[in-house]
């Protein structure tokens, strides 16, 4: 089917009114298919979090190796995302999406078949490469197609990510609890092969052929020039600050995800439910944050990001709980030493306060809202301060995704090392110190909107129209 048929603009968009674009069925189907690519990536990453720490403990594998298994997809994502971002200047997005999803299937299949930690790390790295290709290509294609509604469409992507993080940990934890160490470790990824294969078929028939976007006033000058342009994006201090805050937040959240199951003594099933609660709240808050980012043209992005960081810092202090709070909050008798119980209704944490499951569930649910408030406005915020024009969609998508994946790669290792050396309570306190520094930066840094921002949006709109009219290369 021709690209024009697949991606035709609605009447409002054709007439020049892009404030309220109503998607046609083919457009909606196209966006949902790109969202499913994000669902495939998040499921493949999230399925490992509730079971790898427990599996490693039972097999006598070190915390560093377990953290490397959890972080391998994100590390390979981080390494390959700049390459994919530049290649998308010329390469068709559809091709990269399909090959990326196929790589995810291969990685999941290898994970299910391997028992050696080194081979598992290799399989997770392949998954990460597939994640980078499919996710960045989908984000680039949608950014080009809906340049005036990046926040809203990106929030749909975040919902798909949240669904993956909601389904995978619960399913993986339950299978691990009921099927045992070996079969329960493999089963979530066998199901992942089936799920992602269905998404591959869906994408093959729905995503249209595309040939990139050539903008008349910004001709492509080759791969080296595009690499230089991508590096040039960081010349904007506001863009660099936003990226740094996103990176630190990603490290923090993924540190919590990697350590919450083992250090709450809840077991794989209950621990997976805690991560699921975070994703549920993320799904609810993410679309709202994206809508605000678009509706008010980025006016409240800084406020939302700062609010998420402040609330997140408070949660990190409570979740340990931090030794800083022991003198002012001790609702239960102080425990002597460190005790961990696997009772599903109550638990002892690395600290002086005893929590019930519901208290911890509330904290993790609130953490999901913080994650949405920080993440959803970050991409629109980066678009505002990007110094490139219409050619920025691919590199900027790679920068955003690569930044988050950098945290996913480092976070699990950081979390496990902190817990191993300082204990869970002090480890989460150190993470809270990092987010509090981010709060200070967001409050103090002078975010000044660059001149010509509206022109850049019009450039992106023009480039999308070129694609629809078949003017692309």
Average pLDDT, the chain: 75
- pLDDT given at position 409: 77
- pLDDT given at position 379: 81
- The string of pLDDT tens digits covering residues 140-182 is 888 777 766 666 777 788 788 878 878 888 888 888 888 887 8
Report cis status (omega within 30 of 0) of the bond before 321. yes
- Asked whether 70 and 52 are in contact (CB, 8 A), the reply is yes
What average pLDDT score do residues 252-272 get? 73
- The string of pLDDT tens digits covering residues 300-333 is 888 999 999 999 999 988 887 787 776 555 444 3
What average pLDDT score do residues 89-100 get? 85
What average pLDDT score do residues 430-444 get? 92
Whether the model pTM is above 0.85: no
- pLDDT given at position 405: 78
* Sequential DSSP letters for 20-44: SPPPPHHHHHHHHHHHHHHHHHHHH
Distance CA 44, CA 195 (A): 10
Residues 6+ apart with CB under 8 A from 423: 338, 350, 351
- Asked whether 394 and 136 are in contact (CB, 8 A), the reply is yes
Q: Is 377 helix (H, G, I), strand (E, B) or coil?
A: coil
What average pLDDT score do residues 390-405 get? 71
Q: Is the pLDDT assigned to residue 387 strictly greater than 70?
A: no
Band of pLDDT at residue 60, cut at 50, 70 and 90: confident
- pLDDT given at position 107: 93
**If you ran DSSP here, which 8-state letter would residue 215 be given?**
B
Please state the three-class secondary structure of 178-217 as a single string. Answer: HHCCCHHHHHHHHHHHHHHHHHHHHHHHHCCCCCCCCECC
Q: Is 355 helix (H, G, I), strand (E, B) or coil?
A: strand
Which residue, among 384, 372, 385, 379, has the nearest Cα to 397 in the 3D structure? Answer: 379
Spell out a b/e string for 330-352, using b for 16 or more CB atoms within 10 Å of the CB, else e.
eeeeeeeeeeeeeeeeebbbbbb
- pLDDT given at position 80: 87
- Asked whether 37 and 134 are in contact (CB, 8 A), the reply is yes
Give the Cβ contact number of residue 226 at 10 Å.
Answer: 21
Most confident range, picked from 155-164, 263-272, 310-319, 342-351:
310-319
Give the Cβ contact number of residue 256 at 10 Å.
Answer: 27
**If you ran DSSP here, which 8-state letter would residue 378 be given?**
H
- Asked whether 408 and 257 are in contact (CB, 8 A), the reply is no
Residues 6+ apart with CB under 8 A from 405: 73, 74, 75, 77, 78, 81, 128, 131, 132, 250
Tokens at 462, concatenated:
């023009």
Band of pLDDT at residue 16, cut at 50, 70 and 90: very low
Decide: residue 22, CB within 10 A, 0-12 exposed, 13-18 middle, 19+ buried: exposed
CA distances from 9 to 127, 182, 289, 394, 454 (A): 34, 51, 25, 22, 21
- The string of pLDDT tens digits covering residues 374-383 is 988 888 888 7
Looking at the chain, the whole-number percentage of residues with pLDDT higher than 90 is 16
Distance CA 111, CA 114 (A): 5
């Amino acid at each position: 089917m021709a690209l024009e048929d697949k991606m035709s603009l609605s009447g409002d968009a054709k007439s020049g009114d892009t404030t309220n674009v109503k998607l046609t069925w083919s457009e909606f189907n196209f966006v949902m298919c790109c969202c499913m690519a994000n669902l495939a990536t998040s499921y493949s990453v999230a399925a490992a979090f509730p079971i790898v720490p427990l599996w490693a403990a039972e097999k006598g594998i070190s915390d560093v190796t377990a953290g490397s298994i959890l972080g391998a997809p994100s590390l390979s994502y981080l390494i390959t995302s700049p390459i994919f971002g530049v290649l998308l200047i010329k390469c068709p997005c559809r091709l990269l999406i399909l090959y990326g999803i196929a790589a995810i299937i291969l990685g999941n299949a290898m994970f299910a078949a391997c028992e050696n930690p080194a081979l598992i790390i290799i399989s997770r790295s392949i998954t990460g490469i597939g994640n980078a290709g499919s996710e960045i290509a989908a984000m680039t294609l949608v950014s080009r197609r809906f340049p005036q509604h990046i926040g809203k469409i990106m929030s749909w992507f975040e919902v798909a990510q949240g669904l993956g993080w909601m389904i995978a940990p619960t399913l993986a934890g339950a299978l691990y609890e009921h099927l045992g160490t070996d079969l329960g470790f493999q089963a979530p990824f066998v199901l992942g092969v089936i799920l992602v294969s269905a998404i591959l078929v869906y994408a093959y028939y729905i995503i249209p052929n595309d040939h990139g976007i050539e903008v008349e006033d910004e001709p492509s000058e080759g791969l080296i020039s595009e690499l230089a342009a991508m590096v040039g994006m960081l010349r904007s201090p506001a863009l660099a600050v936003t990226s740094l805050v996103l990176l630190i937040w990603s490290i923090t959240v993924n540190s919590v995800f990697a350590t919450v199951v083992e250090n709450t003594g809840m077991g794989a099933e209950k621990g997976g439910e805690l991560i699921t609660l975070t994703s549920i709240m993320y799904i609810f808050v993410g679309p709202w944050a994206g809508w605000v980012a678009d509706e008010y043209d980025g006016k409240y992005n800084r406020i939302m990001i700062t609010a998420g960081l402040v609330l997140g810092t408070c949660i990190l202090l409570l979740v340990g709980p931090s030794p800083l709070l022991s003198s002012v909050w001790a609702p239960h008798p102080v425990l002597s030493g460190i005790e961990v119980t696997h009772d599903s209704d109550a638990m002892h944490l690395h600290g002086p306060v005893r929590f019930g499951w519901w208290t911890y569930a509330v904290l993790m649910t609130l953490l999901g809202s913080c994650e949405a408030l920080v993440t959803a406005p970050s991409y629109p915020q980066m678009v505002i301060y990007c110094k490139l024009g219409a050619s920025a969609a691919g590199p900027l998508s790679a920068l955003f995704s690569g930044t988050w994946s950098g945290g996913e790669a480092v976070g699990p290792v950081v979390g496990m090392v902190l817990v191993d050396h300082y204990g869970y309570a002090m480890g989460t306190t150190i993470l809270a110190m990092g987010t509090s520094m981010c709060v200070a930066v967001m409050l103090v840094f002078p975010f000044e909107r660059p001149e010509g921002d509206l022109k850049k949006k019009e450039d992106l709109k023009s480039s999308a129209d070129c694609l629809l009219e078949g003017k692309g290369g």
